[in-house]
């Protein structure tokens, strides 16, 4: 049995709390735009938010780029990382729904040079997967194995940009058939891929890939449970009419960070903003709201439990499960 969920939510600075909403009879959850700072967000029996606009990609195609460095200290090069990312997203996009497959596809490419999780409102972008090997830059969040940041339009719930960061600082990663003493990279990435596609933690079905609990060495999260499939099929039903068929990131693709790209020729209209917590990114425009989800895949190692998340170096909200639980 996976360890029980313990959740810690902390708004650092000006931020949005990560919220969920259930759509079907199961326990799967979808992220929404509901902001508890501005008023109560109703929840259902599963603890999922039932208010706010659901978050999802509006196109039928998303491009995800693997950062070129890979994880050399973990002996995972770019090619191995890309294959693991491809398999992770394939688990979701190849799910069998009533009437076909989910109406979302993911193109995995790279290598990209930029290793920053950012969204550029007036320059090119990339949805990246990046490994952090030297430091995990989220103070107090050392117990998290992965972090997914979602930037979205607060007026519609459309996802604009999303990045996955893998904590490769302390725990050994395995990209093979499973190492009993290591974190299975394919399992971790399949869980994170669900978040990038708009799914939240499933707090009640311990067989689900989106349940926030993980046993060291397990490869179970590579395969979706029925509740995971129900979620991806309802968010992206086969007969959905997408607003776009483009796979290109918002404002075009660039493998460079915003600061390294040429300045835009002329200012564009500001991105929609609901007056919440945003700040300028090299221009007079304000970026999309940001969710930061430190996904809590708990490890069953014999060592003292680390403290729960208490702070962050970025204006984010954190939902975390410490690695070690009795």
Q: What is the pLDDT of residues 191-222, one digit of tens each?
A: 999 999 999 888 888 899 998 888 888 999 99
pTM equals 0.80
Handedness of CA 121, 11, 34, 208 (dihedral sign): positive
Please determine, for residue 74, whether its predicted confidence score (pLDDT) is greater than 80: yes
Domain that holds residue 55: 8-258+272-320
Over the chain, what is the mean pLDDT? 77
Average pLDDT over residues 2-14: 29
Please determine, for residue 236, whether its predicted confidence score (pLDDT) is greater than 90: yes
Residue 190 has what pLDDT?
A: 95
Q: What are phi and psi of 253, to 5 degrees?
A: -90, 140
The answer to the question of residue 129 being in a domain is yes
Average pLDDT over residues 215-232: 93
First and final CA of the chain: distance in angstroms?
12
202 against 17, higher pLDDT: 202
Please determine, for residue 295, whether its predicted confidence score (pLDDT) is greater than 50: no
The answer to the question of residue 148 being in a domain is yes
For the segment 91-110, what is each residue's pLDDT rounded down to a tens digit? Answer: 999 999 999 999 999 999 99
The answer to the question of residue 121 being in a domain is yes
How many structural domains is the chain composed of? 1
The answer to the question of residue 263 being in a domain is no
The DSSP annotation for 84-136 comes to HHHHHHHHHHT--BTTBS-S-EEEEEEEES-------SSS-B-EEEEEE-S--
Inter-residue contact 266 to 250 (CB < 8 Å): no
Tokens of 218: 């397990």
Residue 251 has what pLDDT?
A: 94
Average pLDDT over residues 20-43: 71
The answer to the question of residue 264 being in a domain is no
Please determine, for residue 319, whether its predicted confidence score (pLDDT) is greater than 60: no
Average pLDDT over residues 270-290: 38
- pLDDT confidence tier of residue 289, bands split at 50, 70 and 90: low
Residue 178 has what pLDDT?
A: 75
The answer to the question of residue 123 being in a domain is yes
The answer to the question of residue 32 being in a domain is yes
The answer to the question of residue 267 being in a domain is no
36 against 196, higher pLDDT: 196
Q: What is the CATH number of the domain that holds 213?
A: 3.40.390.10
Please determine, for residue 37, whether its predicted confidence score (pLDDT) is greater than 90: no
- What percent of the chain shows pLDDT beyond 70? 72
Q: Which one, of 224, 138, 214, 143, lies nearest residue 183 by Cα?
A: 214
Residue 291 has what pLDDT?
A: 57
- Cβ neighbours for 66, distance < 8 A, ≥ 6 positions apart: 78, 81, 82, 85, 108, 109, 110, 111, 112, 128, 129
Mean pLDDT lowest for which of 171-175, 189-193, 266-270? 266-270
């Amino acid at each position: 049995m996976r360890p029980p969920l313990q959740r810690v939510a902390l708004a650092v600075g000006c931020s949005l709390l990560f919220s969920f909403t259930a759509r079907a009879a199961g326990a799967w959850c979808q992220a929404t735009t509901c902001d508890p700072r501005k008023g109560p967000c109703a929840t259902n029996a599963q603890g999922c938010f039932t208010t706010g606009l659901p978050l999802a990609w509006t196109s039928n195609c998303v491009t995800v780029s693997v950062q070129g460095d890979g994880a050399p200290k973990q002996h995972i090069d770019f090619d191995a990382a890309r294959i693991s990312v491809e398999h992770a997203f394939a688990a979701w996009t190849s799910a069998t729904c009533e009437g076909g497959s989910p109406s979302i596809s993911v193109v995995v490419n790279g290598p990209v040079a930029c290793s920053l999780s950012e969204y550029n409102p007036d320059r090119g972008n990339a949805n990246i997967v990046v490994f952090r090997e030297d430091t995990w830059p989220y103070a107090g969040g050392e117990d998290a194995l992965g972090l997914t940041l979602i930037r979205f339009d607060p007026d519609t719930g459309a996802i604009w940009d999303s990045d996955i960061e893998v904590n490769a600082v302390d725990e050994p990663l395995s990209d093979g058939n499973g190492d009993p003493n290591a974190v299975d990279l394919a399992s971790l990435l399949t869980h994170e891929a669900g978040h990038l596609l708009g799914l939240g933690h499933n707090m009640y079905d311990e067989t689900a890939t989106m349940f926030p609990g993980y046993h060291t060495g397990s490869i179970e999260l590579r395969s979706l449970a029925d509740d995971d499939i129900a979620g991806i099929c309802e968010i992206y039903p086969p007969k959905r009419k997408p607003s776009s068929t483009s796979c290109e990131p918002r404002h075009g693709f660039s493998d460079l960070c915003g600061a390294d790209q040429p300045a835009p020729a002329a200012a564009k209209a500001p991105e929609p903003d609901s007056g919440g917590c945003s700040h300028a990114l090299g221009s007079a425009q304000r970026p999309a709201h940001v969710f930061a989800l430190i996904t809590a895949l708990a490890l069953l190692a014999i060592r003292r439990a680390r403290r729960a998340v208490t702070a962050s170096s970025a204006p984010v909200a954190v939902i975390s499960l410490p690695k070690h639980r009795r």
